Each structure stands twice: as structure tokens, then as C-alpha cells.
Chains A and B, each alone.
Chain A
Amino acid sequence: DQQVKQNSPSLSVQEGRISILNCDYTNSMFDYFLWYKKYPAEGPTFLISISSIKDKNEDGRFTVFLNKSAKHLSLHIVPSQPGDSAVYFCAATDQGAQKLVFGQGTRLTINP
């Protein structure tokens, strides 16, 4: 029972364009969502988060959108840069559980 799904294992985007990474969840109890970025041989690095009381959160080039009715969130990166090439994980939690439930990850490659 995979509660958080990232259906695209990989995504390739040209430098300067917008990267859109998608994530779907099934558990309606989730109330906090996070995106992490992971480089090889390193631990995940926190990128941006959003609470379920919001539908958008922006931080520089990164924006996360939450559609609660569709149980869908997305991460937009604009403009995309070569250093953005990494694996991106979507994660969710509810206030009672504390643990993060992760998606399978999407490998983003930014092409020059």
C-alpha cells in the first residue's frame, strides 16, 4: 500500500526551462508535505514544504502547489539549472504520526 506515489521515475529538462515534478497521495490524514533533493552518496536535503492549510508555497526558484481535492502536489523549479540535477523525493506526514512517508523519487536531469 503505497501512500505516496511519484509516477515518473525520471524527467529530463533543458536548462532555463521549468521543471515540474509530481506527487500523488492517498491518505487524507496527511497534513504536511515536503520535498527533498538527494545527490548520490549524500543524505536527502530539505527543499521546501507546505501545510495542508495552504495551496501554494514559494521559495526563490522553487514553488510547491497542493491540490487537496485531487490529493496531488507538484514542485516547480524555474528556471532550471544544471545543479538541480538530482533525485527528488516527495514526503508526507500527519501530526499524529510524525514519521515521513516518502515517494519512490524522480530523477531530474537538467540538460545544458
Chain B
Amino acid sequence: GAGVSQSPSNKVTEKGKDVELRCDPISGHTALYWYRQSLGQGLEFLIYFQGNSAPDKSGLPSDRFSAERTGGSVSTLTIQRTQQEDSAVYLCASSLDRGQFRVQFFGPGTRLTVL
């Protein structure tokens, strides 16, 4: 498809386990973003990748969270030793570039439930 895709769509895990969430951005989009939406909350920025530049990790809530983007395309968000407060919908977005093309297009999200 032409849109941003994410997998899995749902993930249920036990507290203390590690999880990996995947994002496939729109082809040709150089910028990739991760956000999360906790229950009843707005979207919270986590991390941003732009081309080959160092990622902006300023939104990551703890060192249990990390993300990488391989080959300038697919990205993986990893949460180690998951906690119940990590339960949220994790959303990935991509955009064409800086400047006037700053509209971010979102994927459907991964709903993470930590038991």
C-alpha cells in the first residue's frame, strides 16, 4: 500500500518482557517519527529520524526505550523490561522533508498492553 504501515496491530505482553514495534514509512519519505497515545491523552512525541542525521530522542520517557532506522526506511521501536505504564497506542508517522512539506502521515498504530 501507499501509506505508513505498522506491525503488529496489537501486542499483549507480560510486565518485564521486551517488545519490538515495527514501522514501514511511505516510500521516499525521509523523516520518520514515533509518538504514543496513552488512554485519554493526546499524542506524545517520542523520537524523530531525518535522513542520516542523528535522531532527536528528546521524547523518549526512559532508557528502556530505544529506536533505530535501518537503511533510511524501516524503523523499530524497542521497549525493554516493559512496565504497565507503557501500555498505549504507539503511532509512527513519516513526512517528505523539512520546510513546506511538513505534513506528517500516520500509520494505524500498535496497541500495546502490558499485563
Contact = CB atoms under 8 A, between A and B. Distances in A.
Interface of A: 4, 32, 34, 36, 41-46, 49, 89, 91, 93, 95, 97-105
A87 B104 CA distance: 17
Interface residues of B, number: 26
A44 B104 CA distance: 10
Nearest to B91: A43
Contact of A104 (B41, B45, B59): B41
B21 to A, nearest CB: 13
5 contacts: A34-B103, A43-B109, A46-B103, A89-B43, A99-B59
B50 A41 contact: no
Interface of B: 4, 31, 33, 35, 41-45, 48, 50, 56, 58-59, 91, 93, 98-99, 102-109
A4 B43 CA distance: 11
Contacts of B91: 43-44
A26 B107 CA distance: 28
B42 A98 contact: no
A32 B102 contact: yes
A32 B102 CA distance: 8
B32 to A, nearest CB: 11
A98 B99 CA distance: 9
A33 B99 CA distance: 13
B107 A93 contact: no
Contacts of A98: 31, 48, 50, 56, 98, 102
Contacts of B108: 41-43
B102 A93 contact: yes
B102 A45 contact: no
Given A99-B33, A99-B48, A44 B106 contact: yes
A104 to B, nearest CB: 4
A103 B44 CA distance: 9
